[in-house]
Structures are given as structure tokens and as C-alpha cells.
Amino acid sequence: MRNESFFSAPQLKRDPLGGLHAPMSDALITALVLGLAAGLWLIAELAPPVSQCVVDEMGVHVRLFGHFRLSQVRFEDIESVEIASWWDLLMDGTLRHASRVGTSPFRRPVVIRRRNGHPLLVAPRNQAAFLTRVEQGVLARGDVPPAGRLTSA
């Protein structure tokens, strides 16, 4: 039997599986992924925080739902406090050694460097006000760290 008729048969064109054209499905997937990312960011920003950073006369407390204490740093144990970027913390090794309580990937963390060498990362809603209150508490205790150590980067 000769195969000439088999190789010369006309080829049929098929639509891609699923019936959608490739450029339209790529645009739809991109829009869905971007919409999902925006929705997650919005929920993270607008939802009530699970943990709350509280500054009182003794120091900094991080509480779960405002009631259960997760972490505490007394003012006399604070060496420095600053607002840092996630990238800087990764590059200088702080991220690897730090305790993270209530941090958010969408917000720059406040780094509380303790005298024992173990940094604590927190993410209060109002970072500037939190930083100011911690600085005032440390200075009010009379335990003044070296000049320039209480800074916002």
C-alpha cells in the first residue's frame, strides 16, 4: 500500500483547547492575578489588626487582639528604634535574627534593637507616631543611648 494519499491529505486547523484565543486568555489571567493582589492588599490595610503595638509608661507591648501579650520590651532594654525597609533588613542580616510580631509585608517595619542583641520587628499603623512615643519613653527614663541611635531611616 502506498502512503502518498496519507501525506497529502489537507490538515485541519484547530482552535486552542478551551476555545479562547491565546492573547485573550493571557489578558484575562493577568487581570485576575492583579485583581487578587489588589484585593489582598486592601484587606490587609483595612482589616482590623490582629496584633496591636502599645506604648505605655513601662515600654512597648505587642498584644493579640488587644488583650493577650505577645511580646514586651522595656524602655531600659531598648538600644535604638528606627523605621527600615524590608530590603535593608534582608541585606544587613537583621531579618534573619529578628523576632517578628504583627508585621505586614505591605508596610515598612519598625525595628526595635534591644541591648541583648535580639531585634524586634513590629508594624504599627502609624509608624511615625509610634516611633516618637518610643523615643520619648526611652529619653524620659534617662537612659540615653549614643547620639543618633534613635532615628527614622
pLDDT at site 152? 45
Summarize pLDDT for 10-36 with one digit per residue, the tens: 666 665 565 555 556 888 888 999 999
Those residues of the chain that have pLDDT short of 50 are: 146-149, 152-153
Domain residue ranges in the chain: 19-47, 51-140
pLDDT for position 51 = 77
Q: What is the CATH number of domain 51-140?
A: 2.30.29.30
Position 57 scores a pLDDT of 87
> Can you spell out the DSSP letters for the chain?
---HHHHTSPPPP-PPTTSS-HHHHHHHHHHHHHHHHHHHHHHHHHSPPSEEEEE-SSEEEEEETTTEEEEEEEGGGEEEEEE--HHHHHHHTHHHH-EESS--TTSPPEEEEETTS--EEE--SSHHHHHHHHHHHHHHTT-PPSTT-B---
Q: Can you give the pLDDT at residue 62? A: 87
pLDDT, position 1: 54
Instruction: Output the pLDDT for position 147.
Output: 41
